[in-house]
Amino acid sequence: MFLAAQVSMYPLRQPSLSPAIDRALDIFRSHGLKVTPGAMSSLVSGDDEALFTAIKEAFQQTSQEGEIVMTLTLSNACPVSR
CATH T-level fold of 2-75? Alpha-Beta Plaits (3.30.70)
Question: What pLDDT digit, counting tens, does each position of 28-51 carry?
Answer: 999 999 999 999 999 999 999 999
Domain segments of the chain as ranges: 2-75
Instruction: Characterize 44-61 residue by residue with b for buried, 16 or more Cβ atoms within 10 angstroms of its Cβ, and e for exposed.
Output: bbbeeebbeebbeebbee
Measure the CA–CA gap between 9 and 41, rounded to whole angstroms: 7
**Please, are residues 28 and 34 in contact by the beta-carbon 8 Å criterion?**
no
Question: In the 8-state DSSP scheme, what is residue 79?
Answer: -
pLDDT digits (tens, 9 = 90+) for 9-30: 999 999 999 999 999 999 999 9
pTM: 0.92
